[in-house]
Amino acid sequence: MNLLLLGEDEIDSTGAARLTGRRHTHAREVLRVQSGQTLRVGVRGGRLGSATVVEQTAEGLQLQVTLDHPPPPRARIDLVLAIPRPKALKRVIPAIASLGVDRVVLVNATRVEKSYFDSKVLAKAFLDELVDLGLEQAMDTVAPTIEVRERFKPFVEDELASWTDAKVRLVPHPTAAQALRPTTERVVLAIGPDGGWIPYEVDLLAANGFTPVTIGPRVLRVEVAVPALVGAVRG
């Protein structure tokens, strides 16, 4: 963890903060913090800076916080992601948060196994923790929004229409005719499940403004495909 994330309500008007729970355990056992030491901190949704450890006890860490710079720029990318198997989801959510993606909609698709919906990884508290891992890694304070949609068609036809800021819509597919080209525009990527979107799903996405593009014929795991696509879009 490269950053300690604090809630706005955890810091008082004098800059004093108290760290408990997982973050305290990590600071004590992994970072082995000592009184007087300086840590990088950030306020959820807000600015970053440093904190001096004033006191270190079994109950918690007393910090004095100074916030002096904004979080890193956003990737300006949104993802429509067919729900991956739970093991892959556990890896890709921290990656997504660390890359600065703004919106993630985890959607059902024909090739998404129904059992995935019962996975504990889809629980809000679990997803929040995975997001925090990514933010702490990338030294960011701004979490992506994550939503789950059990019905693909109404999501694509009704909800996506309201994403008026996202004009560049791409559905990456290994065998697409058109190569993905970097752009400075905001981009929505619709990333299919293992085995890909079925033709009906690609057609529905295409009818709603998504262009099939490719970064090459290689079939990549979702946790590899997402960073590779984000890298390629931002080029």
Instruction: Give me the helix-helix angle, 86-99 and 124-138, nearest 10°.
Output: 40
Stretch that binds its own copies, among 9-17, 49-57, 155-163, 214-222 (CB under 8 A): 214-222
Which amino acid is it at 199? P
126 phi and psi angles, rounded to 5 deg: -65, -45
Residues 162-201 that bind its own copies (CB under 8 A): 181-182
The answer to whether 235 contacts its own copies (rule: CB under 8 A) is yes
Note whether 220 binds its own copies by CB under 8 A.
yes
Closest distance between its own copies and the C-beta of residue 157, in Å?
Answer: 30
Binding mask 60-89 for its own copies (x = CB under 8 A): ------------xx-x--------------
Cα separations (Å) of 149 from 67, 120, 153, 227? Answer: 37, 16, 10, 23
Q: Does 110 bind its own copies (CB under 8 A)?
A: no
Residue with tokens 């963890």: 1
The 3-state DSSP class for residue 176 equals: coil
Choose the binding region for its own copies from 13-21, 144-152, 163-171, 220-228 (rule: CB under 8 A). 220-228
CB 1 within 8 A of CB 132: no
Binding site for its own copies (CB under 8 A): 2, 72-73, 75, 91, 94-95, 98-100, 137-140, 181-182, 215-221, 223-235
